[in-house]
């Protein structure tokens, strides 16, 4: 977060609020989100792409009603991928025509609800879904705007589980073997659908633009094929999300304006070569908007030195509030934030309180050797895919999201309570 600094006592403040105050008032663990930083990043994406393009924030990274309002105010659109995300978006007043509905297995209930609400586009992910959406739209007397998600055969340089445009995975319709062209053929024949474009998402936490280059080349190639076969120039393409952020000092992400410039240039160049009108471009950043805007604040519970190995630091959360380390071997950093320390650095592993040895938050890091129970530590860059992937494993209560701004803190998602847990248990 941009407004992080240390006061004279070495206590970290964010958005003008110090972390000791936050811990006292809201408890730990807590996700602390810097509202100004979120808005600044959203605005940077919006202005980088300008009026001839659309930015759809990917709600899966983190979604709450406050965030939906911020996005709306900053002029972003929203990508949702479930009925729950759609309900959150609508309940916070996001205009339905600024919502894109994604997913590889949307239920008929979800599809009906999205069409009734008037979502701006549904991104079709399979042959069955093309027919399913067309059917429901026709039943409702609507011509639904849709895009077809294709897989362009690019293997993005990222963890295997989050790369999505290579061929052997569940998303989209392969370009290979003429399948995508066949999907377009079918969609164009169905009265319930208005095909507005082609969608491609190649993966997540990507730094190298060359994957997008290949993807754009192939998407434009398909647009050309469609023009030649059907005489239609589809007006839009979506290049998905996936832009990487800095989790540790080794990562060197690009700024939104550099990304916008690179993507736009690629598309314009490819379209000129294919003699096509340049379609309206959209993108779907999630992590790059919200990831850096929050950190997780934990209290240290135990400090356990293992001779000759490292020191295990247990915090009051763990894999239930951040599954990314266990799931993707994600790397994070950590800092002591409740005081200054001149002590020597010691090698630590920050672990959670769950009954599982893979319950690791930060695999390798250094913290001052005088670290003690009661100290507060913060793990930065947990705004994306942490609260949204949080679980109740071991019946641990999911932490709150506290937004800070101008010296004030307010809860935007409250901490779960034991009553919340027990309310679901009706046996």
Instruction: Tell me the catalytic residues.
Output: 355
For tokens 């929203």, what's the residue? 78
Assess contact for 100 and 120: CB atoms under 8 A.
Answer: yes
Assess contact for 376 and 297: CB atoms under 8 A.
Answer: yes
Query: 348 has which bridge partners?
Result: 311, 365
Assess contact for 402 and 410: CB atoms under 8 A.
Answer: yes
Q: Is 140 helix (H, G, I), strand (E, B) or coil?
A: coil
Nearer to ligand LLP, 135 or 280 (CB): 280
Task: Please report how close the Cβ of residue 273 comes to ligand LLP at its closest, in angstroms.
Answer: 26
Task: Please report how close the Cβ of residue 205 comes to ligand LLP at its closest, in angstroms.
Answer: 6
Rounded Cα distance between 360 and 85, Å, is 28
**Tokens standing for residue 121:** 């586009």
Q: Is 292 helix (H, G, I), strand (E, B) or coil?
A: helix
Rounded Cα distance between 328 and 46, Å, is 30
Assess contact for 248 and 331: CB atoms under 8 A.
Answer: yes
Rounded Cα distance between 198 and 151, Å, is 10
Nearer to ligand LLP, 58 or 71 (CB): 58
Rounded Cα distance between 378 and 19, Å, is 9
Per DSSP, 94 falls in state: -
Residue 285 is labelled as binding a ligand: yes
Nearer to ligand LLP, 18 or 359 (CB): 359
Nearer to ligand LLP, 127 or 328 (CB): 328
For tokens 């095909």, what's the residue? 195
Task: Please report how close the Cβ of residue 275 comes to ligand LLP at its closest, in angstroms.
Answer: 29
Task: Please report how close the Cβ of residue 148 comes to ligand LLP at its closest, in angstroms.
Answer: 13
**Interface ranges with ligand LLP (CB under 6 A):** 58, 60-61, 79, 102, 162, 201, 204-205, 240-243, 284-288, 324, 328, 384-385
Assess contact for 71 and 94: CB atoms under 8 A.
Answer: yes
Residue 112 is labelled as binding a ligand: no
Assess contact for 89 and 114: CB atoms under 8 A.
Answer: no
Q: Which residue in 261, 335, 295 sits closest to 28, CA to CA?
A: 295
Task: Please report how close the Cβ of residue 199 comes to ligand LLP at its closest, in angstroms.
Answer: 7
Residue 287 is labelled as binding a ligand: yes
Rounded Cα distance between 96 and 87, Å, is 11
The number of beta carbons lying within 10 Å of the beta carbon of residue 408 is 11
Rounded Cα distance between 14 and 33, Å, is 9
Task: Please report how close the Cβ of residue 340 comes to ligand LLP at its closest, in angstroms.
Answer: 32
Rounded Cα distance between 203 and 284, Å, is 11
Nearer to ligand LLP, 18 or 85 (CB): 85
Residue 286 is labelled as binding a ligand: yes
Residue 242 is labelled as binding a ligand: yes
Task: Please report how close the Cβ of residue 76 comes to ligand LLP at its closest, in angstroms.
Answer: 13
Rounded Cα distance between 146 and 134, Å, is 10
Q: What stretches of 144-274 show up as alpha helix (H) in DSSP?
A: 179-189, 210-230, 256-273
Nearer to ligand LLP, 18 or 79 (CB): 79
Residues in the annotated binding site for pyridoxal 5'-phosphate: 242, 284-287, 385
- Detail the residues annotated as belonging to a binding site: 242, 284-287, 324, 328, 356, 385
User: Which amino acids are annotated as binding site for substrate, given as ranges?
Assistant: 287, 324, 328, 356, 385
């Amino acid at each position: 977060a941009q407004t992080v600094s240390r006061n004279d006592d070495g206590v970290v403040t964010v958005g003008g609020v110090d972390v000791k105050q936050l811990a006292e008032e809201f408890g730990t663990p807590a996700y602390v989100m810097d509202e100004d930083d979120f808005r600044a990043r959203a605005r940077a994406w919006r202005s980088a792409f300008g009026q001839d393009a659309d930015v759809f924030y990917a709600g899966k990274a983190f979604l709450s009603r406050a965030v939906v309002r911020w996005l709306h105010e900053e002029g972003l659109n929203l990508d949702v991928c479930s009925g729950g995300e759609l309900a959150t978006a609508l309940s916070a007043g996001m205009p339905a025509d600024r919502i894109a509905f994604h997913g590889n297995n949307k239920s008929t209930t979800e599809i009906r609800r999205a069409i009734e609400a008037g979502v701006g586009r549904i991104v079709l992910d399979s042959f069955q879904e093309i027919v399913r959406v067309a059917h429901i739209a026709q039943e409702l007397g609507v011509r639904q705007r849709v895009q077809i998600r294709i897989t362009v055969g690019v293997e993005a340089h990222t963890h295997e589980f989050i790369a999505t445009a290579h061929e052997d995975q569940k998303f989209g319709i392969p370009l290979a073997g003429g399948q995508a062209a066949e999907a377009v053929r079918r969609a164009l024949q169905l009265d319930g659908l208005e095909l507005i474009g082609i969608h491609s998402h190649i993966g997540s936490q990507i730094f190298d633009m060359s994957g997008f280059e290949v993807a754009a080349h192939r998407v434009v190639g398909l647009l050309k094929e469609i023009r030649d076969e059907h005489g239609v120039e589809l007006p839009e393409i979506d290049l998905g999300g996936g832009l990487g952020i800095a989790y540790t000092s080794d990562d060197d992400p690009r700024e939104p304006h550099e990304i916008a410039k690179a993507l736009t240039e690629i598309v314009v160049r490819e379209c000129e070569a294919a003699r096509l009108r340049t379609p309206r471009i959209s993108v779907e950043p999630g992590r790059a908007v919200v990831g850096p805007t929050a950190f997780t604040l934990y209290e240290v519970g135990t400090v356990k030195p293992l001779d000759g190995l490292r020191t295990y630091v247990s915090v009051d959360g763990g894999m239930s509030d951040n599954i990314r380390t266990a799931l993707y071997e994600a790397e994070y950093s950590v800092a002591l934030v409740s005081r200054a320390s001149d002590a020597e650095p010691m090698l630590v592993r920050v672990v959670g309180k769950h009954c599982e040895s893979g319950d690791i938050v930060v695999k390798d890091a250094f913290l001052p050797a005088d670290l003690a129970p009661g100290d507060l530590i913060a793990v930065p860059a947990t705004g994306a895919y942490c609260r949204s992937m949080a679980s109740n494993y071991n019946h641990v209560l999911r932490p709150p999201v506290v937004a800070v701004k101008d010296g004030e803190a307010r809860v935007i998602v409250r901490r779960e309570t034991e009553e919340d847990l027990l309310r679901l248990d009706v046996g």
